[in-house]
Structures are given as C-alpha cells and as structure tokens.
C-alpha cells in the first residue's frame, strides 16, 4: 500500500513538471513570433513621427494635458493601416492634396481626418502674399459672347404671309432711297438721296495774299492774277465739259470729264472706319483729323444728295412668281460710280439660289476690297454683264416675290431693279436715334443672332450677309408669333354681371 501511494505522488509531480515546461516553451515561442512584429510596428511609427513637423508632434503631446477631466477615454494608438488614398477622404480633406496618413473616428461616427502629407514643405513670403485675400472687384465682368443661333425655318408660304405687314410702302421706299419708276411700264427710274447723316468737318481755309481781293487796282504787282477792275478769266473748253463730284470717302470735291477721266489726279486721304461719337473707328482720331488711309483717286457713288433722275437701264418683273429670297450685292468704284461686282441670293430655307460675279461696264477705279472682298483677279474671270444678271434674277423673281436685305436700296440701285415687295432689316430694326441713322448688319447679327459677320480682312461675303438678313427676319417673325401666343393664353378680363345677357 505504501509503494502504491509513492508511485501516485511521483506521477503527480511528473505531470506538473511537464505542464510547466510546456508552458515555458509556448511562452518563448509566442514572444519570439509576435515580439518581432511589435518591434517593426513601433519602428515604423517612430519613423513617421520623425518625418512629421515638430509643431505637429508638440501639439499632439500637449493635447492630453489640456483636456478637461471627465468622461474622456484614452484611445489606443492607431495600429492599422497608416496610408489612405480613398477618393472620399481626399475630396473631404480640402486644402491638402497629399496622402492621408492618419484617420480616426469622431463622436458621431463619421470619418475625421487627422494628418496628411504636405506636398510643399517650405513656405516663403511670396506664397503667403499670394494666399492673402484679394480686394473684391466690383466691376461687372465682361459678358461672354452669345452662342450663335439659327432661327427655326418655316415654309415659304407662312413666311410670306407673316411678312405682309412689314413690306415697305412707296412713301417709305422713297425716303430710304429706293429706285422708283417714273411712269408705269417704263425703264426709267428716279431716286431721292438723303444727305449723309454724319457731320462733316469744316474745310481748312487759308488766306492768299495774292488773291484779287487783296491786290489793289492798278498795282504793278498784279502778276496777272486779276484785280477788281479786270475781266474774269474764262474757263477752258475742257473745264466747261467737266462734272464736279463729291468724294464719298474724304468729302472733297473733284472734277471729271463726261467720259470719266480725271482732270487732276490727286491722292485721296480718308478714314475708312465709321464715325462713332467724335472719333473714327479706324484710328480713333477726332473729327477733322487727317485721313489715316490713302487711295490713288477720289471716288463717288453715282448719285448726289437730293433728286436723281431720270436714270435709264432699269428693269422690273412682269408676272407673279411667288417666293421669298434674301439678296446681297457687293459693289466696286468705277468712273461711273458704284457698279455691281458680285451678287448672291438665298432662299427661305437657307440654300443658295444664285451667285455670280459681274463685269462692270465702266473702268474700275477702286475694287473696294476691304468691304466688297472683290479683287482684280476676281473680276478678271467674270463673264456675265449686268444685263445677263438681270435676266437671271427675273427668271425666279416675280412681281409678288418678297426680297429681303440689309440696306436693300443700295443693292437694287446697283442691280438696276425696280421692285416694290421688299423687307429691309434697317427698317425692321431701326436705330435708337431714329432715321436717317441705320444699324449695321454686323451689330445686329452679333446682338440678336450671336453670329460674327464682316469681321475678316478678306472683305464681306454676300452669301454670309444674305443669310444673316434672312435669319434676322425669321427671328422677328418668331418673336411676333410668341407675343401673339402669350396674349391669346391670357385669361379674358371679367365683365360685370348683366342679368339680361346671362338670362339669354
């Protein structure tokens, strides 16, 4: 019995010893495996703290001291992932384009970014000055150009019916300078031209001491210039047959023979830009300043202020053909004045109907390339004359055909066409200061259509100008339709109660 108890005690001690030995071995294995990972984590955090600015570390270490004692819980350091590139975090961390290094939870459960990388480590005085708040600019920012738009096309019949109220009356056509026939079924026309609306500078006059008014009678120093008692000098036969014209560019008078030859060749100094206020648009010089452009000859328009006529060579339609067309022509200066050089006709749907170059009948003085876009080589290949173009136009333009254009009176005078069914965008969109001032097609197109025309240095395009005039008319028609629709949709005005009417 004693031996049996001794064996049991020996087994118990042996079991305890084995258990303690195994516990020691397991503890050593655990420290060996997980201790190295802990050292790596501590080393990585130490490196991150060394890379961070000293001010941030000081602020983080001083935070526990400034906290109020209460229910504050001391959170353990973030042991997980230390770099975040999630777009949500980068989007919400404004002003920090770098990588997020530490993110912690807030009290309400939302993400709260703590620190992040700074792409620029140093901050200089220039960057600080750039970050200062700039004074507010109270000026209105420049308005962006409107988006180009094209009005919706409508059928020719609907457009013709909508344009009936806008057709110019004969009285209005006479005031605008349209050619009108002298008598029915005749090829002669008469035109009334209003004086130019722009103010002209006073001519610079100089005193001539040798003039007859300053030379006394019987003086020996007369030099043949005449005196009060001398007979006037008779003009030569060449001057008697000459005609005096007004230059449309420099407002200076010059003389030409009836055959179209200049009696005196002198350069023309002029301003090609319009007069805006008291200065010219081409050079910003004031009224009366010397011209900024030079031409070889003076030119005239072929008409004079006031009554002009009878003018021959005009044609007119004889039969009705219907239709609505936009027309634009480009002219050049010849010895006979303005003459047709190019023409384009656009239909109501925007397609090109007719386009042709025209060979002038008189010698060309100035091709007016800046505005017409016509060059000498263009007219060199022109084969059609004015009579040919007139026959082509009358092939689709009838007595009831509506012609649309901007300042169409100039085009019809150059085309020598008598027509009464016309719609002029100058009258459709009048100038704010009234007649005889007119708004330019370029200004109307930019303001109402958001389209830039007549801006290139190569001159005007008759196709582009005709389409702009057609679109301006379509825009007016659509505005009137919308206005009538708004009026019709309004509720009728309530009338007072009348028992007799209600009983009936």
* pLDDT, position 433: 85
What's the predicted TM-score (pTM) here? Answer: 0.62
Res. 157 pLDDT band, cuts 50 70 90: very high
Structure tokens at 417: 């066409």
Q: Please, what's the b/e burial string for 240-262 (b: 16 or more CB within 10 A of its CB; e: otherwise)?
A: eebeebebbbbeeebebeeeeeb
Rounded mean pLDDT of 285-309? 88
Q: Is the pLDDT of residue 55 over 50?
A: no
H or E stretch at 160: helix 156-162
Query: What was the pLDDT predicted at 391?
Result: 95
pLDDT for 486-497, tens place per residue? Answer: 887 775 655 666
Highest mean pLDDT among 16-25, 315-324, 487-496: 315-324
pLDDT score at 221 = 35
Among the residue ranges 7-11, 355-359, 387-391, 440-444, the one predicted with the least confidence is: 7-11
Tell me the C-alpha distance between 273 and 406, whole Å: 19
Say yes or no to pLDDT of 27 above 90: no
- The tens digit of pLDDT for each residue in 237-262 reads 555 678 899 998 888 999 999 888 89
Helix 408-415 to helix 386-393 angle (10° resolution) is: 120
Q: Which two tokens stand for residue 333?
A: 């200066």
**Beta strands per DSSP E along 117-241:** 180-181, 189-193
Within 8 A by CB and 6+ apart from 273, the residues are 280, 281, 282, 283
The domain defined by 156-195+307-489 carries CATH number 1.10.1200.10: no
Tell me which of 455 and 271 has the higher pLDDT.
271
Residue 316 pairs in a beta bridge with: 418
| Bridge partners of residue 180, in order along the sequence | 190
Q: What is the pLDDT of residue 136?
A: 57
Read off the pLDDT of each residue in 198-202 and give the average, rounded to a whole number: 50
pLDDT category of residue 125 using cuts at 50, 70 and 90: low
Q: Which residue has the higher pLDDT, 235 or 263?
A: 263
Confidence of residue 465 (pLDDT cuts 50, 70, 90): very high
> 469: exposed, middle or buried (C-beta count within 10 Å: 0-12, 13-18, 19+)?
buried
Domain ranges of the chain: 81-116, 156-195+307-489, 240-304
């Amino acid at each position: 019995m004693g031996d049996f108890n001794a064996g049991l005690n020996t087994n118990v001690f042996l079991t305890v010893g084995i258990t303690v030995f195994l516990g020691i071995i397991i503890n050593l294995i655990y420290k060996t495996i997980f201790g190295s990972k802990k050292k790596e984590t501590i080393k990585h955090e130490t490196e991150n703290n060394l890379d961070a600015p000293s001010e941030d570390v000081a602020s983080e270490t001083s935070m526990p001291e400034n906290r109020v004692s209460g229910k504050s819980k001391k959170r353990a350091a973030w042991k997980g992932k230390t770099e975040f590139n999630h777009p949500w975090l980068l989007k919400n961390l404004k002003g920090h384009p770098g990588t997020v290094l530490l993110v912690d939870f807030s009290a309400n459960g939302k993400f709260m970014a703590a620190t992040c990388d700074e792409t620029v480590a140093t901050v200089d005085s220039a960057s600080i000055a750039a970050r200062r708040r700039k004074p507010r600019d109270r000026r209105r920012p420049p308005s962006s150009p409107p988006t180009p738009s094209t009005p919706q096309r409508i059928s020719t019949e609907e457009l013709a019916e909508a344009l009936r109220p806008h057709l110019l009356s004969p009285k209005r056509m006479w005031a605008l300078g349209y050619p009108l026939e002298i008598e029915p079924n005749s090829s002669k026309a008469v035109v009334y031209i209003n004086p130019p609306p722009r103010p002209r500078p006073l001519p610079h006059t100089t005193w001539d001491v040798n003039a007859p008014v300053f030379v006394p009678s019987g003086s020996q120093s007369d030099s043949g210039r005449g005196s009060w008692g001398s007979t006037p000098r008779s003009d030569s036969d060449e001057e008697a047959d000459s005609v005096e014209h007004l230059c449309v560019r420099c407002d200076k008078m010059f003389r030409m023979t009836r055959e179209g030859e200049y009696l005196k060749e002198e350069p023309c100094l002029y301003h090609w830009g319009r007069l805006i206020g008291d200065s010219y648009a081409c050079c910003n010089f004031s009224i009366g300043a010397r011209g900024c452009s030079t031409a070889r000859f003076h030119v005239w328009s072929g008409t004079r202020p006031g009554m002009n006529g009878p003018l021959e060579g005009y044609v007119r339609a004889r039969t009705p053909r219907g239709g609505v067309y936009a027309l634009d022509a480009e002219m050049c200066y010849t010895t006979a004045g303005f003459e047709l050089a190019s023409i384009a006709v656009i239909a109501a749907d925007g397609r090109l109907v007719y386009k042709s170059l025209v060979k002038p009948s008189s010698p060309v003085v100035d091709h007016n390339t800046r505005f017409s876009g016509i060059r000498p080589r263009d007219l060199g290949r022109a084969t059609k004359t004015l009579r040919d173009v007139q026959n082509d136009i009358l092939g689709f333009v009838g007595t009831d055909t509506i012609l649309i254009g901007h300042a169409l009176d100039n085009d019809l005078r150059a085309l020598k066409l008598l027509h009464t069914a016309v719609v002029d965008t100058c009258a459709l969109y009048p100038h704010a200061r009234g007649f005889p001032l007119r708004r330019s097609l370029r200004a109307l197109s930019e303001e109402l259509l958001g389209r830039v025309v007549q801006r290139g240095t190569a001159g005007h395009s008759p196709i582009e100008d005709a389409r702009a005039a057609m679109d301006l008319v379509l825009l007016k028609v659509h505005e009137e339709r919308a206005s009538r629709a708004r009026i019709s949709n309004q509720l009728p005005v309530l009338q007072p109660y009348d028992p007799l009417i209600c009983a009936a």
